[in-house]
Structure 1
Amino acid sequence: MSHLDPYGGEPRGWDRPDRPTALPWPEPDVEPAPWDRRPVPDRYAEPRGLTRPPADPYPEAYRDQPYDERPAGINGHRDPDDYPTAQLEPVRPDREPEPAPDPEPPRGRRARGRRRASADRPPTQPSRAGRNLPAAIAVGLGLGVGAILLPLFLYRPAFLVVVAAAVGVGVWEMARAVRRSGAHPPLVPLIAGGVLTVGLAWFAGPDALSLGLLVTVLGTMVWRLGDGPGGYQRDLTAATLIAVYVPFLGGFAALLAAVPDDGHLRVLVTLVAVVLSDTGGYAAGVAFGKHPMAPAISPKKSWEGFAGSVTAAALGSALLLWLLLDVAPWWGALFGLAVSVAAVLGDLAESMIKRDLGIKDMSNLLPGHGGLMDRLDSILFALPTAYLLLVVVAPVAG
């Protein structure tokens, strides 16, 4: 005996009819709910309210023409005027792009040291030596005539003031430059000791010059004790270098000028030899310079320029010492040769110091030259050389 189906009331078994049996609850995947028996739209039916674009009326006639040259309506599109991009110019790959306009130069103050160029006034071009040559010549002539020759020939004690002032400025520039390396040499004892060294050399001779150097170094050591032990050795080393390089070497100018009879002439022939060396080296280097002399220290110096330096100094000194000091020409040529070599070595020495410190000039005190030490570098090494040679070739009478 078969049991009754509690859900359908019909017998279960093989004699059940083939029609599906209704479920007591709605199944969304099988049968929609009675309250949601909305008609399902046919997804493949034609949408109401929309029309298909008309077919291309003449595709065969314009099939071989470029797309942008076909009339409106081709390929099932509407009139091109209906599109917002219809007014834009089509991109053609064969057209060269228009160059961008030059940017407008920034307004305001122009860089210092430069002037505005025009048709009547071209821009200033630096020389091959990297300097403003007219300004350098003007400043050099002003210093040579006004600060050296006039005091030297009119009132010689005034030349002592010039030497002392030059030593003070040189010490200040050197102390300011070495601070880039972390050293802080005391400035007051260096300047005071430098002026004292020059004065002792003028009044008491070579022995007093060495005494002035000793006093300067000792005074610097004592002065530096007040700042504590931090960096003492470094600061004292820098101070000793400055004391030897500027006041001690510069004191030989006072020794040359202090000669009673012809001290002014001895200073003159020394300075002329240095000027001839610099001028001859510059001219020969610009015209023939091809082989660098010391590229790691001074890339612009060449062996051709060095040959021009010694040649000009030797020829000029041979003539000048013969006329002014009554020295044989071959001794004069030897004097010029030695002074030129010393001047070149002095220039290289300061270039090495500046390159080690990472600076171009000691200061910007002199237009076209840089600092005063940039002009004294050759002279400082030439002064003791000239003093020693002149003691031999032109001994002082009495």
Structure 2
Amino acid sequence: MNEPLLRELVPAVIGVLVRRGADFAAAEDAVQDALVEAVRRWPDDSPQDPKGWLVTVAWRKFLDSVRADASRRRREELVEAEPEPVPVPDRGETADDTLQLYFLCAHPSLTPASAVALTLRAVGGLTTRQIAQAYLVPEATMAQRISRAKRTVSGVRFDQSGDVSTVLRVLYLVFNEGYSGDVDLAAEAIRLTRQLAAKTSDEEVAGLLALMLLHHARRPARTGPDGRLVPLAEQDRGLWNTQLIAEGVEMLQAALVRDRLGEFQAQAAVAALHADARTAEETDWVQIVEWYDELVRLTDSPVARLNRAVAVGEADGPRAGLAVLAGLDPSLPRHTAVAAYLHERDGDPVTAARLYARAARSAPNIPERDHLTRQAARLNAQLRR
């Protein structure tokens, strides 16, 4: 069974059902039922026309659900008049509704968590079970989240224009979740962003895809054999995926020459400079500071300001970095970890060890907590010698 092909066909098949008269929620449910049927009936090979097959089965699933709902007489009348569908796409079925589905699933009325879940279901073609496993929540909880999301957008017209920036933020959320269970969310986010990039010439879509590729290229070196987090400066750069790096850099350069800079392009430029350095010592920190200046100008993001403090500490020395850090909100996530790092580089292991230990207590995940705890233990061991 060609599971990637199935996932790619999901938006188009949902679009066909919506154009035939199904509402989005019912269409999405019917397509999910058709996918289950495909898994059962395509064990070795797919039919000659996979899209036509899915359209046929999904439309029959939809008709069955309508027939079962006696209270909806208008739809019952539509069903009685509707001929049995055939797996040959008609003129209206050749339209590509993928972009509209992106906009719908990333609607501003949805919470970020709901938008992510709905995007993975309706555009990504993942099952509720797969999404629940990826986010480490019970399947029933994820099913409720998706149902609420579909109810929220039920009144939104399918062809209503949407906001690309909202879609990009949802995809970035998916990418940053990493991976767990049997679904690699980082790879899935890249697949969906590639799909979006094929539908639009927006520079920020290209910027986000470049950023994802450049970060994903470093993935093999991010953890050691024992599962420990490996900081960027200590990574084995021979493990980085040079093909992904080349693709990301080329995509970024093509977007930058159009001179419509956005935040994802600026972030990708920082990632490209890291990827370009053969060793950590050869990193062009001066240029990285300049790109963070652009990012702060574009977004005024506290996280960008925090990352800029690190870059300044590398480019101009740790005391310069600490001076920048002093002007930022200490409650920022990872503020304490950055302070610990800069104090260590400034030759103050006592303060650094204390701050590493404090940062570990508020770390957002177990690998980061363990890394910060080891940093504190390393410095404390040195101090006792």
The interval holding the TM-score normalised by the smaller chain is under 0.3
Greater helix proportion: 2
Which of 1 and 2 has higher RCO (CA within 8 Å, sep 6+)? 1
User: Max radius of gyration: which structure?
Assistant: 1
